Structure 1
Amino acid sequence: MNVNLVSYNLKVSSVVFKVWGAVAALKGIYDMVAGEPEANMFSAEKWQFVTYEQWLRWGGFELTYGLFCAAFGYFLYAVASSVKTPDISPGAKSEAVKS
C-alpha cells in the first residue's frame, strides 16, 4: 500500500476525531453547566426522573469521551507525521539489500 495514502488517511481520521472530540467535550460542558435532560420538560417537577447528580455524571462522561477522542486524534496525527516515505528513486537500494 502506498505510504502517502496511509499518511493521508491517518490525517483525515485525526481531523474527524479531533472535531468530534471537540463537539462532544463542548456538549459535556454545556450539560454540566446549563443543560438539563429532556425528561424535565415532560415531568410534573424538574429532576423527577433523572436526578441532578446523574445528569452531572452523564455530562462528565461526555466531557471525558470528547477529550479522549480529541487526544486520539492528536495521536493519529503524530503517527501520520512520523510515517516515512520510502526512497523509490531509480538506483536506490533498500536497507534490506544494503549489506
Structure 2
Amino acid sequence: MSSIDVWGLTGFILGTPRVLEDEPLFSHLQALRYDLGNSTSQWTKEQMFWRKRDLGLPIAIYRPGYVIGDSKTGALNPNDFFPRPIVGCIQIGAFPDFQ
C-alpha cells in the first residue's frame, strides 16, 4: 500500500501537471525536500520496491483514495489534512460553493 504522497509537492514545486501510476519516481525527488517526512519515507519505500520489481520480483503497488474514519464508527483524527476543512465547516455552519 502506498499513497499519492509519494510524489510530494511535485505539482506545486516543479509544476508537474500530472503524474502517472507507473512513471519513474526520480523526476519528482527534488520536490520532496519541501514536504513532510511521510512523502520521503513513501518515496524511499517505493523506490526499493521498483528496484526489486526490476530484478524480477512480482510487485504491485496500490494507492487507495483518501482513507479517513473508521468504516463502522466514523472515528477519525479531526486534525488530519482532509477532515480539517470539514470540521471547520461544521463549526462555522457554512461551506464553500464551488459552482
The TM-score by the shorter chain falls in which range?
under 0.3
Taking structure 1 as the reference length, what is the TM-score of the superposition?
Answer: 0.28
Structure number with bigger Rg: 1
Q: Quick one: higher RCO (CA 8 Å, sep 6+), 1 or 2? A: 1
Taking structure 2 as the reference length, what is the TM-score of the superposition?
Answer: 0.28
**Structure richer in helix, relative to its length:** 1
